[in-house]
A and B are shown apart, each in its own frame.
Chain A
């Protein structure tokens, strides 16, 4: 019934999604162009602080665990120079962040696997956006694809925030 008991610390940290987040965030920090290796250090510090908040404190404090990671990712992404590698790493870091969120130690193990259908949608969007910048010729077409994606995203988000019941299905 219960998953096999592992040492509490290791089980709580959920190492796979943590490693994924650490690698992508640190690499984004490396590409962000901060001098003296400040970027990777900032990313690693954010991830470590968030993990500490999650596993070592009370539940009321643990809900703030995503904030340091998110702040570190934002600080790295904003000054990052334009480049295909930087863009896809930023997208992957965002996806890794979602997987890390799904591996909440207060919930049953396997959260990242169960979240794959949810994470799949933004992953598809990131993939389309990146491939459009990579494969399509420069000019109006990639701009159109990116613009359509953004417009669609913003419209759906606005609709959802305004009325979450749009996803409700009437009972037969």
Chain B
């Protein structure tokens, strides 16, 4: 709960207007010995006093429920603000701030009743994102609009993560290179899992082999087997947070897209009990060590939410050496790098030499650059062709060191998912 005493009564711009007009009328009444201005001045002078008396005498506590709905690019924020009994909810003003990474009408739609305020904002994520929706600011404001006081609540911000829907299915991929847990003996069984644990309702992302068809037929609803050890392998997700020649704006947007995809990727693999680790390489390598479970999901989400671009470009070898210190070699490694300049291309060779088989997923800067291009007509077409040729050349060079996927449609990761789902192609 926030400190209520630090939220005093605040004058709104209407208050000085009323008070100064009232004072002027009072002066005129005295000078002209005419009581009529005095009678007009009385309401103007007393209204601010009355507004202060009638309102809550300390910061009013409110309960704020905040929820995120929608899928893919659609972000719907819903919530309610419930003041304590005795206070009319219609006297509360709710201000919800739209994060910069989302677009749409900034003002939420508000539905008032005497007991609660319901708000709803419909925004769109133009590209994959992981962003924090702040708790709305709630103010008690007197009906005339003379004074206001900030309300207190114990609500916390919510994180919205939007990533390509294909990532929901990628967790069923069996990672080839796995590292045994301490004390674990590798099972020779071929299949999804270890010991049978029980039956649970099936989820959309469950592979057909995990569905218990007999139980499903008996129950009349889809049921799936659950196993004690449903580990498919270990995964390291590495984000290249070094600055490139594209400039901070484009770098920031590409990094934001990579962070969102990394959240989706880790989420999907953690759901099938794989161990996932994350590294963000700017000037140094910041890591979330390998682990699994819900706590690890929150840990990774928090780390990626707070990750930011570095202002200094560090040598790629530092990343590989540091990764070797924190993670065992042989981990399947997904590297997010824009491959926009020569320095960003050298990450995967160093990782490979240190024993990390890397797959590079490269968010393409071309859609972002083309969107802000000032060229028109034929010039634009030529520029687009040249930039695509340069990009293709970079991808081809990166392929020589590691499998590289050019990610140019930010809402689709079909190419990447297909690649990791087909081991033969991967080996090729």
Total chain A interface residues with beta-carbon distance under 8 A: 63
Which label, helix, strand, loop or mixed, suits the secondary structure of the A interface?
helix
CA distance A157 to B47 in the complex (A): 10
B5 at the A interface (CB under 8 A)? yes
Whether A153 lies near B42 (C-beta < 8 A) is: yes
Q: Using a CB-CB cutoff of 8 Å, which residues 1-30 of chain B contact chain A?
A: 4-5, 8-11, 13-14, 17, 19, 21, 24-26, 28
In the complex, which residues of chain B have a beta carbon less than 8 angstroms from the beta carbon of A118? 47, 50-51, 54, 142-144
Whether A157 lies near B49 (C-beta < 8 A) is: yes
Partner of B145, one of A67, A101, A123: A101
CA distance A122 to B45 in the complex (A): 8
Using C-beta atoms within 8 Å of the partner chain, give the interface range for chain B: 35 or more
Whether B46 lies near A153 (C-beta < 8 A) is: yes
CA distance A167 to B26 in the complex (A): 25
CA distance A107 to B140 in the complex (A): 12
Provided the pairs A118-B144, A167-B52 are in contact, do residues A87 and B39 lie with their beta carbons within 8 angstroms?
yes
Partner of A160, one of B26, B49, B90: B49
In the complex, which residues of chain B have a beta carbon less than 8 angstroms from the beta carbon of A22? none
In the complex, which residues of chain B have a beta carbon less than 8 angstroms from the beta carbon of A23? none
Provided the pairs A93-B40, A167-B52 are in contact, do residues A78 and B28 lie with their beta carbons within 8 angstroms?
yes
CA distance A26 to B57 in the complex (A): 38
Provided the pairs A78-B28, A114-B91, A168-B57 are in contact, do residues A126 and B112 lie with their beta carbons within 8 angstroms?
no
How far, in Å, is A64 (CB) from chain B's closest CB? 10
Whether B19 lies near A168 (C-beta < 8 A) is: no
Whether B112 lies near A114 (C-beta < 8 A) is: no
In the complex, which residues of chain A have a beta carbon less than 8 angstroms from the beta carbon of B145? 101-102, 104, 107
How far, in Å, is A157 (CB) from chain B's closest CB? 6
Whether A157 lies near B53 (C-beta < 8 A) is: no
How far, in Å, is A69 (CB) from chain B's closest CB? 11
CA distance A37 to B271 in the complex (A): 80
Whether A2 lies near B111 (C-beta < 8 A) is: yes
In the complex, which residues of chain B have a beta carbon less than 8 angstroms from the beta carbon of A123? 43
How far, in Å, is A75 (CB) from chain B's closest CB? 11
B32 at the A interface (CB under 8 A)? yes
Whether B52 lies near A110 (C-beta < 8 A) is: no
CA distance A68 to B142 in the complex (A): 22
How far, in Å, is B79 (CB) from chain A's closest CB? 14
